[in-house]
Chain A
């Protein structure tokens, strides 16, 4: 158990819908990262927050947004969902904002029908 929690574990929804994925980092960690894992693209970085502020963006679609709250938990919002958004979404956390080890949560499996 990495200490990173993610909810829900599974999510099944329809095209065009909006969902919210939630992540609680390890105690004491200030950075939260979101990654998407699909069969064709592998594990790809989406976005990083450090102590409530956005630090870096990767290949995150405009339909996706995220935020980190004062209690350091984070939410990833996915809207206007498409079939191709079906994937595993992982949250990771680290103490600092750069080279510290990133600990991954168990992931949320999103299926868009």
Chain B
């Protein structure tokens, strides 16, 4: 079983829809949670970075972490065709001396006009 599970999709939505992307994890030591966006044939770019449980909002993007259920979510409001990409959740253990990121498999999202 992978430490971070993510439904690979693909997910296809119309422009303007609210998109919900989710991951679950099994390692209780994970303390930091990230969402990366990866366009085809490009490197991942950081969208959201949260510590422990709670919500964080940045423009059309909202990240939620529920440590009690080990559940990570990313919501995209008013989705645009330019949001079409692969979305990767990532986690980082607390209390270590290194920065090893553990990634989910990635969800392929297509927003059609």
Contact = CB atoms under 8 A, between A and B. Distances in A.
B88 A43 contact: yes
A45 B99 CA distance: 10
How many A residues touch the partner, as a band?
Answer: 20 to 34
A17 B103 CA distance: 29
Contacts of A35: 101
A107 B106 contact: no
A42 B99 contact: no
Interface in A69-113: 90, 92, 94, 96-107, 109
Given A90-B43, A106-B42, A56 B88 contact: no
Contact of B103 (A31, A42, A98): A42
A94 B98 CA distance: 11
Contacts of A4: 43
Nearest to B51: A99
A18 interface: no
Interface in B25-56: 32, 36, 41-46, 49
A8 interface: no
23 contacts: A33-B100, A33-B101, A35-B101, A42-B103, A42-B104, A42-B106, A48-B98, A56-B99, A92-B43, A96-B99, A97-B97, A97-B98, A98-B96, A98-B98, A98-B99, A99-B32, A100-B99, A102-B99, A104-B44, A107-B41, A107-B42, A107-B43, A109-B41
Interface of B: 32, 36, 41-46, 49, 88, 92, 96-106
